[in-house]
Structure 1
């Protein structure tokens, strides 16, 4: 069985449209040239053994627009939201406002807001997983009233359509903020929405209400959503920036 060939990677840089285009080049036992743009924007090229760096440079220039397009697409991706921690002093949000977590002793478990702190009071010290469960339960408890207030703000925008007013349910969801069943006018919302600004909650609820009229995510759906909430993209971005 013949041995495969792979030379050490080398860094190359070209000038293209008044900017530098850098890439990592490696020669391998292959018949065609391969291009890859990674999420960090770096460019990696695998070229057939026996070809020259000059020939590769010519191919890169032919592919330059494709490379720059993908680099820009990765650069425009939003930064991943930070992860939450559940130790004393960690930051958590409620209705868009940040609070520091503080633990306190009490006969009965309770969650309260005191100035800039979110206080978890319990008879015994809490492990992080227990603090997380208590806080999530509190979010779910707060959700019903906040969701009702949001519907009171959002629903008047749908008056012209003579729809049945939807019923709301609090539902923990792993990958969604909300869902809608148009046939029963039932909307389910994640209790995690109480962490976001009221405008973010209104955006999600309006989104689900729009599904009472348009069941899919077609252009007609987004046209309707934009007409009823022109700045929805701002609130969607703010919602997605919340720590996961």
Structure 2
């Protein structure tokens, strides 16, 4: 039985909205073209043998919005929390700065920032799960005021649109940094964002505010986001590189 045709994969790049779109192309014995976006954001395309790379590039351009939408969905997922450590000396971030955990004894549990340390005081030694729960609760308490400060920085950029000022909510989300319901002008943000620099928080909040005007991730959406925050890609990359 003859082996099915499959050429060696090749790396291709084309420009879409003045940004490079990279993909891996392989020709196979198939009738239709197949598109796949993997969790790392890489794009893989299987094309029928006998078609040309130029024809494939045309199909990629037609599918570009779909590709970008899926890349955005994967990129917007916050780093998983369970891999963090919770013993003394382990590092945890707050507003982009790393702090070492230090434990002390006190009548009631509390967390305070002291120089380059996160001091966790409690009546008795804490398990890792108890420390994790205390930290999550502390992040959530800091989130409300920090989110309000971010909105005060971001919202003036939307003055020209005469929009209803959104209401903010702190919401733990497993796969997203934020979400927006344009109909009610309600934006939900993950308390995990307080771990990042304020500029990263501002990027996420501006992104969600843009959805008050454009509900999807179309070209119009990214044109608006780029006009209001030209360097958004830098802050997005820094946010997604935040250590776990």
Give the TM-score of the pair, scaled to structure 2: 0.68
Structure 2: which 5+ runs fail to align?
10-52, 54-74
Give the 3 Å change call, closer, same or farther, for CA 148–81 of structure 1 in structure 2.
closer
Offset, 1:223? 0.4
Is residue 199 of structure 2 the alignment partner of residue 215 of structure 1?
no
Q: Map residues 55-204 of structure 1 onto 2, 5 A cutoff.
A: 83-204=83-204
SS in 2 for 1:32: coil
1:239 maps to: 239
The structure with the largest alpha-carbon Rg is 1
Offset, 1:36? 7.5
CA–CA distance in structure 1, aligned partners of residues 124 and 89 of structure 2:
18
Offset, 1:90? 0.7
SS in 1 for 2:174: coil
Give the 3 Å change call, closer, same or farther, for CA 35–131 of structure 1 in structure 2.
farther
1:205 maps to: 205
Describe the superposition over 1:133-168 as per-residue Cα deviations: whole angstroms up to 9, x where unpaired: 100000000000000000000000000000000000
The 8 Å contact of residues 84 and 243 in structure 1, kept in 2 or not, is answered as no
SS in 2 for 1:143: helix
The 8 Å contact of residues 185 and 212 in structure 1, kept in 2 or not, is answered as yes
> When the two structures are aligned, how many residues end up with a matched partner?
176
1:31 maps to: 3
Structure 1: which 5+ runs fail to align?
1-28, 38-64, 66-77
Describe the superposition over 1:104-156 as per-residue Cα deviations: whole angstroms up to 9, x where unpaired: 11110001011110111111111111111100000000000000000000000
Give the 3 Å change call, closer, same or farther, for CA 136–34 of structure 1 in structure 2.
same
Give the 3 Å change call, closer, same or farther, for CA 114–35 of structure 1 in structure 2.
farther
Higher relative contact order (CA 8 A, sep 6+): 2
The 8 Å contact of residues 178 and 208 in structure 1, kept in 2 or not, is answered as yes
Give the 3 Å change call, closer, same or farther, for CA 113–155 of structure 1 in structure 2.
same
Q: CA RMSD in A?
A: 2.1
